[in-house]
Amino acid sequence: MDKRIRRRIPLKLAGRIEMKDRDGVDGRTRNISSVGAYFDAENFIPVGTEVELEVFLPVEELREMKGREARMKVSGTVVRVEKGGVAVLFKGLKVLLRERGEE
């Protein structure tokens, strides 16, 4: 039985999961909702791990803004682990617009 309370949208976006005590993991979202996302990644991340998920947004209008990029950055917790990916429950969301290369 599917326990999801929000509709998930299939959306494949490049991104990265950062953790405090481990190296970051690159991958892609498989789907996303207003409360969480499924992230395809080869590296194992245990359930309960606090993470920061950063997703690169390919918004067409941003191509006109030379030298800039948009990212969605969200804190969350890994709530499910499957072979090849993890489900992240969002805690806080911010959308960043900044010059490339800035942290």
Q: Residue 49: inside a domain, yes or no?
A: yes
Residue 2 lies in a domain: no
Domain residues for 56?
A: 9-99
How many structural domains does the chain have? 1
pTM of the full structure: 0.68
Residue count of the chain, please give it: 103
**Which value, in Å, is the radius of gyration of the alpha carbons in the chain?**
14
Any idea what the CATH number is for the domain that residue 58 is in? Answer: 2.40.10.220
Per-residue pLDDT 10s for the chain (103 aa) are 455 566 788 888 899 999 998 899 999 999 988 788 999 988 889 999 999 999 887 766 556 655 556 677 888 999 999 999 999 988 866 544 444 555 5
Q: Tell me how far apart the terminal alpha carbons of the chain are, to the nearest angstrom.
A: 41
Cα gap 28→46, rounded to integer Å:
18
64 DSSP assignment: G
* 3: in domain: no
Report the alpha-carbon distance of residue 100 to residue 56 in Å, rounded.
12
Is 58 within a domain? yes
